[in-house]
Structure 1
Amino acid sequence: MKSAVESLSPTRAKLTVEVPFDELKPSLDKAYKTIAQQINVPGFRRGKVPPAVIDRQVGRGAVLDQAINEALPKVYVEALRENSLEPLAQPEIEVTRLEDKELLEFTAEVDIKPEIELPDYDGLEAKVEDLTVTDEDVEEQLGNLRERFGTLADVERPAADGDFVSIDLVATKDGEVVPGAEVAGMSYQVGRGGMLDGLDEALTGLSAGESAEFTSQLVGGDLVGEDVAVKVTVNGVQEQELPELDDDFAQTASEFDTVEELREDVRTRLTRGKRLEQATEARDAVLEALLEKVSVPLPETMVTDELNARREGVEQQLAMAGITMEKYLEDEGQTIEEFEADLERRVRDAVAAQFLLDEIAKREELGVEQNDLSQHIVRRAQQSGQDPQEFANHMFEHNHIPELVQEILRGKALATLVESAVVTDASGNHVELKNLRPDGSIGEPEAEAEAAEAEPESAEAEPEAAEAEQADADK
C-alpha cells in the first residue's frame, strides 16, 4: 500500500491511497465465500460455488464492490496511522481508480486535528474576584432558614407581597378555555414569579372571594407565546409567620445551642461555597489566559455541529422550564443576534480548549488509571441523576469509554495548568487553589461529605449548584 497526504487546510486533509490487488486477496476470498452462501446454483451445494461460476452468475463487479467495502475501513485506518493523522469525523471516500487484478486507488477527505505549537504554559497569570461573605449574605441565609420553619395563618385582608393565597385560575382564547390551562385550589406565594406574567400584580390587593382579569402569554402547550385572557380568583389569604431568630430557634433548626453558633456556621458554609466558586473562576481564567496566547485553527464542520447541539440544548432547557426564547432573551437583556454571537464565541473557545488540552496531555505524558475512570463514571452518573452501574453499563455497551478517558485526560491537563498558574484576587492577594480534583473539576471533600449527608430539603434548596456542576462537566 502507498499513501500520500495533501493538506487542504490546517484542519482538513486529502489522502490518496493505492492498494495492490495482492493486498485485496483476503477480502476477495471473503466476498466469494459470503456470496457463495447466498446464491443457489444448480449442480453446486450452497457455499461451494466456485469463484468463476460466481463471476458468471452474479458478476465480477458485485464481488469487487463487496471486497472493496470490506477492505476500505482497514486500509483507511492504516493510511491515517502511516501519515500521523487524527481524524475528527467520518471521511468522504471516493474510489478514483480500479484496475481488476492490478490496482485499487481511492481518496479520503477528512477533518483532522490541527497541528498546534504550544506556547509556554507554565506560570500563567490570571485574576479572580475577591472572596467576600457579607453580613447581608449571612442574614439572607438565616432568613431562608426561618422561612422553612415558618407557619401560615389565615388573615382577613387583601393579599400582599409574600402572602400565600389559594387561587382558581383559568386561561381562555377567543372565549374558549385553553386545554390544560385551568387549575383550582392551587397554593401560590404572591411575588414569587415564574408562573404567568402579570399574575403577581393581579393578585396584589385582592381579598378572599375577589377576582381579577388580565392578559398574559402561556409558557407551554400549543398556544405558547400567544396572548390569552386569564381570570384569577382568590379563595383565601394566609400570612407567613416566621419564628424569632433566637437560641430556641437555633436549637430547633440546627445542632447548635445558640444563634451565634448557628450564624457562624452559616458564615463558614458560605465561605466554603465562595471558595469553590473562586476556584472555578480561577480555573476558567487560567484556561482563558492560555487561549489568548495561541491561535488554534478550528474545523468549521465541528464548530457548526457543536453550535447546533448547544443551541438545541438551550431550547430544550427553556422548554422544560416553560420559558420561551423571547422571554429568556428579554430577561437576559440580549438580542437574538447577541445571543448567537456569544454562543458561537463560547463554542469556538471550548473547541480550541479541547485541542490545546489534548496536546498538553500528550506533552506531559498524562495517563488514566482504572480508579480515575471509576471515579469519573460515578461523578458523571451523579450529575445526570443515574445509577452509577447502569451509567457504566451504558458507556461500555455504546463504546463511550474512549470519550470518558479523553475527558479525564483533558481534566488532568487543565489541573496541570492551574497548579502552576499564578492567580491573584482583585485586591492582589495570592489565591491558593486546593479544590481541584485530579480530573480538573472542582470539589472539596468535606463539603461533598456534608452534601451527601444532607436532608432532602437542603438538597432541593440548591438547584443552581447542581446546574453549575453540570456546566463544569460540559467544559
Structure 2
Amino acid sequence: MPSSKLEIIEVKSAVETLDPTKVKLTVEVEYDELKPSIDHAYKHIAEQISVPGFRKGKVPARIVDQRVGRGAVLEHAINESLSGFYRQAVTQTNIRPLGQPDVQVIKVPDLEGTDGELHFTAEVEVRPEVELPELSAIKVAVEDVTVSDEDVAARLDALRERFGTLVGVDRPAVDGDFVVLDLSAKVDGEEVDTVSGISYQIGSGNMLEGLDEALTGLSAGETTTFVAPLAGGEHEGQDADVTVVATTVKQRDLPEADDEFAQLASEFDTLAELTEDLREQAANIKQSNQAVQARDLLLAELTKVEVPLPAGVVEAEIVRHLEGEGRLEDAEHRAEVLEQTETALKNQIVLDILAEKLAIKVGQNELLDYLVNASRQYGMDPNTFIKTIDENGQIPAMVGEVARSKALAVALRQVEVVDGEGNAVDLSEFIGSDEDDAAVEAAGVAVVESDDVVEVVVDESAEAPADADADEKA
C-alpha cells in the first residue's frame, strides 16, 4: 500500500459548537503559509498560457498577473490548499468529522502586495461526545454450552449426506427431495425467463418464492403453475406467472452409520470414536457462539446510552442506498432504511469511542487478514481486491472496521461474562488476550489512520522480547 505524509502547516483555528453533532470551524491562515500554494499556482498557470518571448512554464509572475489577473492566481492557490488547511484545523481541534464540510471563504490576501491572510469557516457534522458506561460494571449472561444427542445426530446426518447417493423415486416429491425441473416465467403474458434441467432441493429456498410449495406433492412428469415475484433481471420484483415441470424426482439415500462409514468419512476406525469427535465439534461451535452472543450483548449494553445522530449524514446514506436500488420514491422502504441507517451509525459512533477509550491499535497482519477474508466473500483475488480498495481510498474505512471489531473483543476481557447458572465463562480462545496485544506492539508494527492517509509505521526502537520476563513487561 502506498504511503504519504500530510505536510505540516500552521493555522489558527477555533471551534464553535452549533449543536451536539455540528460545529463551525473558523480558520485563519497567514500569508507565509499560503505562499507555497501561490508560487505553485503561478507555475501551473505559466505552463498553461502562451506569451511571446517566453517559454511555457517560464512566464514571470508579473506577466501572469497581467494576462490572467492576480485574483485568478489567488483563487487557484486557495482551491488547491483549502482542503489541507481544513484537515490541519481538524487535527488541531480534535474534532471527528462524519460528513463533508460546508466551506465559506470570508477573507483572501490583498490583490496588491504580498501580505494579508486567508480566513474561512467550515461547518461540518461531527461525532458527538458520548459517555460510555464503565466496562467493569457490565455483566452479560450467555447460554450454557450443552451438547445433546440430537446435536450429535444432526452432525452425523450432515456427514452422511455428503456421502449419500441420489436415487430416482416413483412418488410425489417431499421436503428434502431433489427435483430436476424445467421452469418458465411470464409477465403480462410475455415470457421473460426460462431454464431447463435445473436440479433443486425442496426446502433450500434459494430460487423463487413459492417454489418449495409448488414442487411438494409433484411427481415426475407433472406440471404446476404459481405466481411469484422475480428475484432478478429486468423485471426484478414484479409478479410473474411461473410454470414448472418436474422431470425427475430423486431422494438421497444415506450410508449406514457404522464402523465402515466412520473409516470412509474420517480418520477414525469406529463409529464411537467418530461420534465423540462430532460431540467435541458441536461443543466448540457452541462455545464460539457464546463469544458471538457475548459480543452482541455487550454492544447492546453500550448502545443503551443516548447518542445524538447527525441528520445530514443519515440522510446522505439513505439517499445513497435508495438511489442504488432505484427506489427513491418508496416511502415505506425509506422508513426501513432510516431505521437500519440510524442503528448502524449509532453502533459505529459507540464503537469508535470505545476504540479510542481502549487505545486500540490495528496490526498490519490484522488488517491483511481482514482484507483477505473480505476478498473471499467477493470471490476476488486478494491482491486484486486490496489494490482496488486502496485505489478507491477505502483502506481507512477497512482499518476502522477492524478497530471496531477489535475494540469489542478487548472490551469483553473487562466485562463479566457468565452462563445461565452464573458461572464465569472463559472466552480467551475467541477474543485474545492482553498478552497478544502486547506482542503486536512489541513487534513495532502498527497501522496509523488519518483522514485520508494510511501508512505502515515500523518503530525501529521496538525490539522483540528477549525472554519471558521481557514479554510480560511488554
TM-fit CA distance, 1:143: 2.0
Q: TM-score, with normalisation over the residues of structure 1?
A: 0.76
Preserved contact between residue 279 and residue 435 of structure 1 (Cα < 8 Å): no
Q: Return the match for 1:166 from 180, 198, 214.
A: 180
Rate the CA distance shift 1:204–1:382 in 2: closer, same or farther, 3 A: closer
What do residues 46-92 of structure 1 show as CA deviations (whole Å, max 9, x unaligned)?
33333333222211211121122233233333333333333333322
TM-fit CA distance, 1:44: 3.4
Q: Return the match for 1:136 from 132, 150, 154.
A: 150
Preserved contact between residue 423 and residue 430 of structure 1 (Cα < 8 Å): yes
Preserved contact between residue 14 and residue 110 of structure 1 (Cα < 8 Å): yes
Q: 2:407 is matched with which residue?
A: 413
Preserved contact between residue 186 and residue 242 of structure 2 (Cα < 8 Å): yes
What SS does the aligned partner of 1:89 have? Answer: coil
What do residues 247-288 of structure 1 show as CA deviations (whole Å, max 9, x unaligned)?
222222222222222222211111111111110111221232
Rate the CA distance shift 1:6–1:259 in 2: closer, same or farther, 3 A: same
Q: 2:349 is matched with which residue?
A: 352
Q: 1:457 is matched with which residue?
A: none
Q: 1:75 is matched with which residue?
A: 85
Code of the residue aligned with 2:309 in structure 1: it is L
Q: Return the match for 1:215 from 204, 207, 227.
A: 227
1:54 aligns with 2:64: yes
Code of the residue aligned with 1:244 in structure 2: it is E
1:426 aligns with 2:420: yes
1:299 aligns with 2:286: no
In the alignment, the residues of structure 2 paired with residue 373 and residue 104 of structure 1 have an alpha-carbon distance, to the nearest angstrom, of 40
Say what the alpha-carbon RMSD is for the aligned residues: 3.3
Code of the residue aligned with 2:158 in structure 1: it is N
Q: Mind listing any 5+ residue stretches in structure 2 that lack a counterpart?
A: 1-10, 435-474
Preserved contact between residue 317 and residue 341 of structure 2 (Cα < 8 Å): no
TM-fit CA distance, 1:418: 0.7
Code of the residue aligned with 1:39 in structure 2: it is I
What SS does the aligned partner of 2:430 have? Answer: coil
Q: 1:14 is matched with which residue?
A: 24
1:179 aligns with 2:189: no
Deviates more, 1:164-173 or 1:130-139: 164-173
Preserved contact between residue 20 and residue 129 of structure 2 (Cα < 8 Å): yes
Q: 1:122 is matched with which residue?
A: 136
In the alignment, the residues of structure 2 paired with residue 396 and residue 183 of structure 1 have an alpha-carbon distance, to the nearest angstrom, of 40
Q: 1:444 is matched with which residue?
A: none
Preserved contact between residue 124 and residue 417 of structure 1 (Cα < 8 Å): no
1:151 aligns with 2:165: yes
Q: 2:464 is matched with which residue?
A: none
TM-fit CA distance, 1:306: 4.9
TM-fit CA distance, 1:373: 4.1
What do residues 135-185 of structure 1 show as CA deviations (whole Å, max 9, x unaligned)?
222222222222222223333344344433333333334444x232x2333
Preserved contact between residue 10 and residue 297 of structure 1 (Cα < 8 Å): yes
TM-fit CA distance, 1:114: 3.0
In the alignment, the residues of structure 2 paired with residue 383 and residue 197 of structure 1 have an alpha-carbon distance, to the nearest angstrom, of 25
Q: 1:459 is matched with which residue?
A: none
Rate the CA distance shift 1:406–1:247 in 2: closer, same or farther, 3 A: same
Code of the residue aligned with 2:227 in structure 1: it is T
After superposition, residues 313-462 of structure 1 pair within 5 angstroms as 339-340=336-337, 343-344=340-341, 346-362=343-359, 366-394=360-388, 396-438=390-432
Percentage identity across paired residues of the two chains: 48
Q: TM-score, with normalisation over the residues of structure 2?
A: 0.76
What do residues 75-119 of structure 1 show as CA deviations (whole Å, max 9, x unaligned)?
333333333333333322111123514333211112233334454
Preserved contact between residue 26 and residue 122 of structure 2 (Cα < 8 Å): yes
What do residues 413-444 of structure 1 show as CA deviations (whole Å, max 9, x unaligned)?
3233111211112232221112334599xxxx
TM-fit CA distance, 1:376: 4.2
Q: Return the match for 2:276 from 257, 264, 267.
A: 264
In the alignment, the residues of structure 2 paired with residue 338 and residue 400 of structure 1 have an alpha-carbon distance, to the nearest angstrom, of 28
TM-fit CA distance, 1:374: 4.3
In the alignment, the residues of structure 2 paired with residue 224 and residue 395 of structure 1 have an alpha-carbon distance, to the nearest angstrom, of 29
What do residues 221-260 of structure 1 show as CA deviations (whole Å, max 9, x unaligned)?
3333333333333333334322222222222222222222
In the alignment, the residues of structure 2 paired with residue 289 and residue 376 of structure 1 have an alpha-carbon distance, to the nearest angstrom, of 26
After superposition, residues 269-288 of structure 1 pair within 5 angstroms as 269-288=281-300
What do residues 357-410 of structure 1 show as CA deviations (whole Å, max 9, x unaligned)?
233134xxx434444444444444445444444444445545544444444444
Rate the CA distance shift 1:258–1:231 in 2: closer, same or farther, 3 A: same
Q: 2:4 is matched with which residue?
A: none
Rate the CA distance shift 1:382–1:438 in 2: closer, same or farther, 3 A: farther
Rate the CA distance shift 1:266–1:359 in 2: closer, same or farther, 3 A: same
1:111 aligns with 2:121: no
Code of the residue aligned with 1:141 in structure 2: it is R
